[in-house]
Structure 1
Amino acid sequence: MLKIVNVKRVGSDAEEVLFVDGDKILGWNLAVDADVTLDGGGGTIVPALIELHAHLREPGQEEKEDLASGLAAAAAGGYGTVVSMPNTSPVVDDPAIVRQLAEKAARLGFARLRPAAALTKGQQGKELAELALLKDAGAAMFTDDGRTNEDARVLRLGLEYASSLDMVVSVHAEDATLRADGVMHEGEVSEALGLPGNPAEAESARVARDIEIARLTKARLHVQHLSTARALDLVRRAKADGVPITCEVCPHHLTLTHEHLRGFDAQYKVAPPLRTSEDAAALLRGLSDGTVDAVGTDHAPHTSSEKERDLLTAPFGIPSIEVAFPLMYTRFADTLGLQKLVDLFTSGAARVMGWDAPTLEPGAPADLTILDLDTERAVEPSTFRSKAKFSPWAGEVLRGWPTLTLVAGRVAFQRGA
Structure 2
Amino acid sequence: MAHTEAVTPEALIAAMGARARSAARTLATLDSSVKAAGLRAAATAIRRDAAAILAANAQDMADATALSTALRDRLLLDEKRLEGMAAGVEAVAALPDPVGRVIDASERPNGLRLSRVRVPIGVIGIVYESRPNVTADAAALTVMSGNAAILRGGSEAMNSNRAIHRAFAAGLATAGLPADAVQLVPTQDRAAVGAMLAADGVLDLVIPRGGKGLVARVQADARVPVLAHLDGNNHVYVDGSANPAMAQAVVIDAKLRRTGVCGAMETLLIDRAFAQPVELVQALQAAGCEVRGDPVEASIGPIVASVSDADWDTEYLDAIAAVALVDGVEEALAHIARHGSHHTDAIVTEDAVVAERFLAEVDSAIVLWNASTQFADGGEFGLGAEIGIATGRLHARGPVALEGLTTYKWIGRGTGQVRG
Whether TM exceeds 0.5 here: the answer is no
Greater share of helix residues, 1 or 2?
Answer: 2
TM-score normalised over the length of structure 1: 0.31
State which structure, 1 or 2, has the greater radius of gyration over its C-alpha atoms.
Answer: 2
